[in-house]
Amino acid sequence: MCRHLAYLGPTVTLGRLLSEPEHSLVRQSWEPRHQRHGTINSDGFGVGWYAQGDPVPARYRRTGPIWGDRSFTDLARVVRSRAVLAAVRDATRAGADGEAAAAPFAEGPWLFSHNGAVRDWPDAATALAATLSPRELLSLAASTDSALIWALVLHRLREGHDLGAALAAPVRELAEASPSSSLNLLLTDGRTIAATAWGDSLWYLADPEARRMVVASEPYDNDQRWCEVPDRTLLTATRTRVVLVSLREKHAGAPHQGDEGP
């Protein structure tokens, strides 16, 4: 499984957010503390960030481990943002997709990551894949379970669903088709974060006074304000508010609007 993180808050360098904390995402790539499956997240990584006044994020993705990428270290020293989504990957299956399979996946204003695996892939997902158009299937970002989940989420975003609803429906459908799947999804548009806890760890750190929100697979430091999200929960958050809804209930995923741009 992977580790991922989304941030909304005051301007921060990527290094401050992703490398400097004691248990940073970079460290989690070789020494995660709460990861339930797998050990080392060295099969690629990616960072997406929003520049001031631009709704379409930039991405930097690579096929190797984040700890060995000196270009990332250099960029992270100076790139600043108020909205970031980053992930380190432990590939469920070996494959040739490389960088294309590394989150975040992106389209327009959205960044997406999946921490988990669809059990019995691809057989368990064929019926759901058939709900997508041939064009959507031919445009898959990679030949992985995560890329199909992203296509299912994107389909709903394009139909106008809010971020939470766009995650909740595919999680329920996939869990029904393949019950022992782990489906921790993370999505942002630079204003709002939506995430699911479904089979792996998920935490958030809310600091409304500083207008700062972090949602991550696990805490990156020992701040006492980190809260663990219960399994089978949909989280939606802005810089100042967080809402948790159980996915065990039938109609989770109420609309939740962001409050300001990146």
Give the nearer residue to ligand GLN in terms of CB position, either 19 or 113.
113
Q: Is 227 a residue of the active site?
A: no
C-alpha span between 110 and 90 (Å, rounded): 22
Instruction: Please identify which of the residues 2, 106, 125, 171 carries the catalytic annotation.
Output: 2
The binding site for ligand GLN (CB under 6 A) comprises: 1-2, 38, 89-92, 101, 114-117, 144-146
Give the nearer residue to ligand GLN in terms of CB position, either 92 or 192.
92
Give the tokens for residue 236: 């939606």
Give the nearer residue to ligand GLN in terms of CB position, either 89 or 239.
89
Residue 128 Cβ vs ligand GLN, minimum distance, rounded to whole Å: 15
H or E element, residue 260:
none
Total count of residues recorded for the chain: 262
Residue 206 Cβ vs ligand GLN, minimum distance, rounded to whole Å: 25
Distances in Å between the alpha carbon of 224 and those of 160, 204, 227, 228?
A: 37, 11, 8, 11
Give the nearer residue to ligand GLN in terms of CB position, either 148 or 157.
148
CA dihedral for 31, 33, 38, 41, sign (positive or negative): negative
Residue 143's Cβ-side half-sphere holds a number of Cα atoms within 13 Å equal to 6
C-alpha span between 63 and 9 (Å, rounded): 28
Catalytic positions: 2
